[in-house]
Structure 1
């Protein structure tokens, strides 16, 4: 006998209500620690070092860069790793084995194959055996020093100073050091980890240290766990959203949704899913405003974004490769953009008049952001059209 119950319909307004609470953006939901923030969002984008701090501090009751430093470099309760979509993320340390097995390991395998191919084709005398020898030397040099930058490792291991011609024949061709590619590979394999930057917290200059091996987790179980956590944070969502966020195949995505008994629902975009037990409606809750950084996990959480972003605004907010810039939010929708000018002023622009309450809340958020940034200056790694206009 078939189940004749109708598929639950979930509106865009209901999705926005869940977003404000679950992503810790409503003022009363803000967290006390960086670990709470990261756990609520599954992972924080970390391609741009500043994003991790800005994303976390937007959701902390007491925003402080030192809180992220503690979690990343002192207590090491958060781990930075290359995983979903071949992107750098910061994840809870306890979840790192699951993320590696469910998304990171496959990336590491592809990274190794790509580097070996480039070395064979574009560098002299490199093969799999020489690459393995260079890895051993680099790890030995790192163990002897405790921590070192890529440049310091290259000074100790001559093979790392050799270069590879990337994108030959293109206008943007350039030579990359073997060291920079090899250290990235060791990080993808989980054999080295980033340490506290030598300069400010938003610096790209990281030393490296040997990493503890991650416990092994079966791949299918890891994918199911990751899908379940993502659904609880980002659901309701579509199959396409989960496939995009993880970088999985359609087959892996569907199997993971089945393994966690995801519940089918109907969204404006079409068929979607919620986590089992998450079918009940959520109250709208308090009004909230947020200034979120480029690549924030909320802005980048879904492939299909019409329910929180007017499609006509996409060219203003995204760069040419799909990276979103800093965004202004009001009650679950992107309503504008912001940036920090060279003199430190935080400026923002709305697409339309959202009313007095919204403007007052956004002014308070801009003041809050300026207050904890202090003398720090943020430079977005992937500037967008509207952000460049605001920066003038």
Structure 2
């Protein structure tokens, strides 16, 4: 008789989300590093997301704590990695992300940059690009840290421009410097330093970083998947493939290397780590008894973007209001493991939200819990005003 795989229902997945993503108040973390490890990586395309995502999960939220990790202790580093997105990961995990994903992206970035340089800038080839990179690294070594504009004073080639998307409506010129520093960051040679201005600023200097060990690619991919399943499992193969941005073949190899076991999910077959394929109440005596909880998560939060299949925590009917046309989520309101609405901050600092889901008899306790989270968020934001980089219909409407 064929043994049926354990079934993990949506309630179990939402309970795991509350605990493992540190969203229920009893599970909040003490440090930025604990949050980042729990989430595997934090989306960092929008500078504000790292701060908002971390502070939503800290017992004592404070922007200064995030700045400490990013710019003083440098226990968090940013890498162009999964899905060609910038992620902030712990310094200990960075070599695995670099070897599994970032370096392959850097190879493609380099080939693309060489192609654009040959097509739209005179006198550029691979030897000149390599010489310019070395000049930039030498300038950084001498300066300690510098913005791209400051480096261009030492390396004039960075001021040259490339024509991107010629003939298209979105045709634009980009500086060689902006593309080259992005490439050096992908290769693990440089990192972003404390922004010039507030923590919301996108103007930042660069600094050299010690080179991470070059790990075997297959070993590195397995470690990424192991950590991801521990945080986001159970999940489907498609979820893992989408989150990592790898090929289906590489995804399946990594899942096999960690010994992923089959489980049943409401939307079909899924996978979990060995020993993590039973409900928490059976596996560790934790049970599902969680205090009702609410959360206000920012645009691009790693929980919102954790899975490709989202129906178990996000009603597809709400996506047009909460996501932009490119698929980027805006700020979301959560109640007991589901996205139930969106929020925004107005110019005067007021935090406002709107429920999109009918919560029935839970509407009143949910409203109180959401209001408490809004007060908590406003408390540590203080005079700071946050506008998401990728604005969504509901966020625009709430601030308009």
Q: TM-score, normalised by structure 1?
A: 0.98
| 1:269-322, Cα deviation, whole Å (9 max, x unpaired) | 211101111122122222110000000000000001000001111111111111
Residue in 1 aligned with 2:14?
Answer: 16
- Count residues with an aligned counterpart: 390
Residue in 2 aligned with 1:385?
Answer: 393
Q: How does 1:235-274 map to 2 (within 5 A)?
A: 235-274=233-272
Residue in 2 aligned with 1:352?
Answer: 357
- Unaligned runs of at least 5 residues, structure 2: 281-286
Residue in 1 aligned with 2:117?
Answer: 119
Q: How does 1:1-392 map to 2 (within 5 A)?
A: 4-282=2-280, 283-284=287-288, 285-354=290-359, 355-392=363-400
Choose 51-60 or 146-155, whichever is displaced more: 146-155
| 1:183-233, Cα deviation, whole Å (9 max, x unpaired) | 100101011111111110111011001111001111001111110100010
Secondary structure in 1 matching 2:270 = strand
Task: Measure, in 2, the Cα distance between the counterparts of 1:279 and 1:356.
Answer: 35
Task: Measure, in 2, the Cα distance between the counterparts of 1:97 and 1:41.
Answer: 17
Q: TM-score, normalised by structure 2?
A: 0.96
| 1:348-369, Cα deviation, whole Å (9 max, x unpaired) | 0001342111110000000000
| Displacement after TM superposition at 1:156 (Å) | 1.6
Contact 2:44 2:86 in 1 (8 A): yes
| Displacement after TM superposition at 1:375 (Å) | 0.3
Cα RMSD between the aligned structures? 0.9
Secondary structure in 2 matching 1:107 = helix
Residue in 1 aligned with 2:284?
Answer: none
Task: Measure, in 1, the Cα distance between the counterparts of 2:70 and 2:12.
Answer: 34
Secondary structure in 2 matching 1:176 = strand
Task: Measure, in 1, the Cα distance between the counterparts of 2:72 and 2:177.
Answer: 27
